[in-house]
Structure 1
Amino acid sequence: MRAWLVKSPMLSTYEEAKVTIRWLTKYDTKVLLSHIELEWMNQVCRFASATGARVTEILSLTLYKVDTDRAMAWMTNDLAKNGRSIPMRFNNEVLVLLEQRKALKTEWCFTRENGIKVKQVGKRMIGRAVKLAGRKPLKFYDLRHIWANWHVQSWTPLMLLKELGGWEPFRWCKSMAIWMRAI
């Protein structure tokens, strides 16, 4: 004979977090970045806003993974959050930035002035720059969302954006579609 539940078990219900997608215009981003005085930090933020790369992908990028002739780099699967290799495309601004970094002759793309690898971004420095620029609170990770917003507003297909950004669930890219309707 089967044993039936006498009482239903208590199950917790979870609501999806209400996420505020922050974005800046390209001009506002330049103003924000102009308030980051430490050179390596400024370059890391410029790189993030131009490529949409995650902080761990940026800080673990080595110069041998950068192909300036093809204007790209491969973020290998051991460093990518989703466990898959991600191609990173570069614009001219990033190529100039990487040439400056190459001149320092270090293994890592982003190091401190003394050549030591950067392990984390300066959250207080970003917070200070946000205040000086007169913007609403912003985190380093928001630079990735801002990059994605610019792509969506330029009508980059969402499936292509998913691949460029290395997002696994497509639902995040679908949430960006609101910006397509806004323009």
Structure 2
Amino acid sequence: MSKWKTTKYPGVRYREHESRKHGVKKDRYFSVRYQRNGKQREEGLGWASAAGWTEKKVIDALAEIRENIRRGQGPQSFKEAREGIRQDRIKDAAQEEEDRLNSITFGQFFRDSYLPDAKQNKKERSWQTEKNFFRMWISPTIGKKRLSEVSVADLERIRNKMLYADLSPRTVQYCLATIRQIYNRAKTLRIFTGENPATLIKTPKIDNKRQRFLTREEADRLLGHLKYRSLQTHDMALLSLHCGLRAGEIFSLTWDCIDFENDQIFLRDTKNGKNRYAYMTGPAREMLMNRRGKKASGYVFKSRNGKKITEMSGTYKRAVEAVGLNDNITDYRQKVVFHTLRHTFASWHVQDGIPLFTVAKLMGHSSTAMTERYSHLAPNDMKNAVKRFDDNLEKESKVIDFQDHILRRKGGEK
């Protein structure tokens, strides 16, 4: 290592690199000495080639440190100065990143982040619906606004336009829920840190639950017509009606989930994220046995190209229309759809006196609150409960008369 050399400036010295040059001179490593709190300190500043130091720059920097020590302000060592510069750079970078995030528009985030994620984690029908909401209703109003600029008033305009276009309250709720999910996603990614404006808007309130269920005669007519039109659609309808399966559960059903020995159907990853068992009726078991054949594998119900079915065939709707189940019905909640079969499954069980708790388990409901909608179909349960209570009151009518009881407590006789 080369020897230290002094300069004409007090407190500044350097040593030269043995071979490396910086410009026409040998590269120099600078060091400074100064006094702080009565103690002599020395700090190496680095090579001229790496840090850009010159004697003039070193002297000026040392003079600034000495002045800061004298005044008791600012960085009082080169280490503190470097840390200050580092912190300033961190702040500047953080500010630049914040400015970049704040400049992202609702439309940019939807296209670049939310939609790709939805395609990976949602069913195609769901993300396509959200994409259409964005294109038709969301983008024209807030697509070019920054995420931080969107207000409750903006979302109210979207809501009011949809209602004015005679869209159902449920559709409006779905669209506003999509906006809420988009903001939640932005918050998860730390792209947006404010309050979600979609949580502050009032959504249209409506009882969207379907109350319609089929009578046994209507179910027989529908199944008979379906069997004539399409055996596969008939079999899917029968499975929903007799076992309470959702359409998506039927589409996802594979032969390894069918347990003929115990008359059970294992349903994986259902709507609420949980697995459950469904139980076969005699007709459902017979239907599945007929479909199984000798080499059953893969999906129980397949599309024409042998792949998984993604939506119910229009054959079902045409069969419903053919047997007149939706004649003269204008309220969409009363119209017969494929889900009506599952609703009928639950309704028939309640009418037959099966407890709501048991029906909830059969349906795969996460709580009995979802099954309470069927409670009106079992009015006799409540009447019988009051009747039993009344009978018990009559049995207890032989208790001691209140006045007689008081007299006895006083030791007297009536």
TM range (shorter): 0.7 to 0.9
Q: Deviations over 1:81-107 (max 9, x none)?
A: 111111110011111111111116342
Q: Determine if contact 2:256/2:297 at 8 Å carries over to the other structure.
A: no
Aligned partner letter, 1:127: K
Q: Structure 2: any 5+ residue segments left out of the alignment? A: 1-199, 327-334, 382-414
The TM-score with structure 2 as length reference comes to 0.39
Pairing 1:180–2:378 present: yes
* Identity between Structure 1 and Structure 2 (%): 24
Q: Report the counterpart of residue 325 of structure 2 in structure 1.
A: 135
Q: Distance in 2 between matches of 1:182 and 1:110?
A: 40
Q: Report the counterpart of residue 64 of structure 1 in structure 2.
A: 256
Deviation at 1:151, TM superposition (A): 0.5
Q: Distance in 2 between matches of 1:13 and 1:41?
A: 37
3-state SS of 2:221 partner:
helix
Structure with the bigger RCO (C-alpha within 8 Å, sep 6+) is 1
Structure ranking higher in helix proportion: 2
Q: Structure 1: any 5+ residue segments left out of the alignment? A: 1-9
Q: Determine if contact 1:40/1:112 at 8 Å carries over to the other structure.
A: no
Deviation at 1:16, TM superposition (A): 4.2
Structure ranking higher in strand proportion: 2
Q: Report the counterpart of residue 73 of structure 1 in structure 2.
A: 265
Aligned partner letter, 1:83: G
Q: Determine if contact 1:49/1:147 at 8 Å carries over to the other structure.
A: yes
Q: Report the counterpart of residue 214 of structure 2 in structure 1.
A: 24
Q: Distance in 1 between matches of 2:312 and 2:208?
A: 25
Aligned residues: 171
Greater mean deviation of Cα atoms: 97-106 or 147-156: 97-106
Q: Distance in 1 between matches of 2:287 and 2:298?
A: 15
Greater mean deviation of Cα atoms: 87-96 or 19-28: 19-28
Q: Determine if contact 2:254/2:300 at 8 Å carries over to the other structure.
A: yes
Q: Report the counterpart of residue 110 of structure 1 in structure 2.
A: 301
The TM-score with structure 1 as length reference comes to 0.84
Aligned partner letter, 2:359: L
List aligned pairs for 1:26-175, cutoff 5 A: 26-36=216-226, 37-76=229-268, 79-103=269-293, 105-112=296-303, 115-122=306-313, 124-136=314-326, 137-175=335-373
Q: Deviations over 1:120-149 (max 9, x none)?
A: 211x32221112212123111111101100
Q: Distance in 1 between matches of 2:248 and 2:238?
A: 15
Deviation at 1:113, TM superposition (A): 6.1
Aligned partner letter, 2:281: N
Deviation at 1:154, TM superposition (A): 0.7
Runs of 4+ in 1 over 6 A off after TM superposition: none
Q: Determine if contact 1:51/1:147 at 8 Å carries over to the other structure.
A: yes
Coordinate RMSD, CA, aligned? 2.1
